[in-house]
Amino acid sequence: MDTLYIEATKSSPFVKYNIESNTLEITGECYPENAVKFFSPVFEWLNTETKKLDTPVLTVNLNISYFNSSSSKALMNFFDMLEEAYDNGKKINVNWIYMEENETAEECGEEFQEDLETLPFNLVVLNSGQTI
């Protein structure tokens, strides 16, 4: 799989695909002025790379502490793409990571989880000071 790297900004998350661990990481706050534009390279990468995915499990770790409504829609599209790949036999595991005190992130993760029918979607709670 090819690399994907997007540097974080004040309003957009850090995005990185780690080839060695076969892990896609999206971390930070997500309220870009144009969510479609921000997520476009992520969608392009996902569309291309999931077709190449064979044996290893692609782990997707999302640790997004805050996002706006347009990013929420983009994230749902992202999860739909992952679920479609999963339904087509690709091995994918999603971890929604949130801090224990961030009830909003927990609730959003639960809502995403409920909207997905087959994609493995785990809620991972971190205690204060804990990292993944």
pTM for the full model?
Answer: 0.91
Structure tokens belonging to residue 18:
């780690």
pLDDT above 70 covers a percentage of the chain that reads 95
Report how far residue 91's alpha carbon sits from residue 73's, in angstroms, rounded to the nearest whole number.
24
**Would you list the DSSP string of 61-81?**
EEEEEEE-HHHHHHHHHHHHH
Does residue 127 carry a pLDDT above 80? Answer: yes
- Give the start-to-end residue ranges of the domains of the chain: 5-126
Query: With bands split at pLDDT 50, 70 and 90, how would you rate the model's confidence at 130?
Result: low
Residue 43 is classified by DSSP as: H
Structure tokens belonging to residue 42:
């992520």
Query: With bands split at pLDDT 50, 70 and 90, how would you rate the model's confidence at 50?
Result: confident
Class of the CATH domain delimited by 5-126: alpha beta
- Mean pLDDT value of segment 84-101: 94
Query: With bands split at pLDDT 50, 70 and 90, how would you rate the model's confidence at 83?
Result: very high
- The larger pLDDT score, comparing residue 60 to residue 132, is at 60
- Whether 4 and 19 have beta carbons less than 8 Å apart is answered as no
Q: Give all strands (DSSP E) within the chain, no chain letters.
A: 5-6, 14-18, 23-30, 58-67, 92-99, 121-126
Neighbours of 132 (CB within 10 A): 10
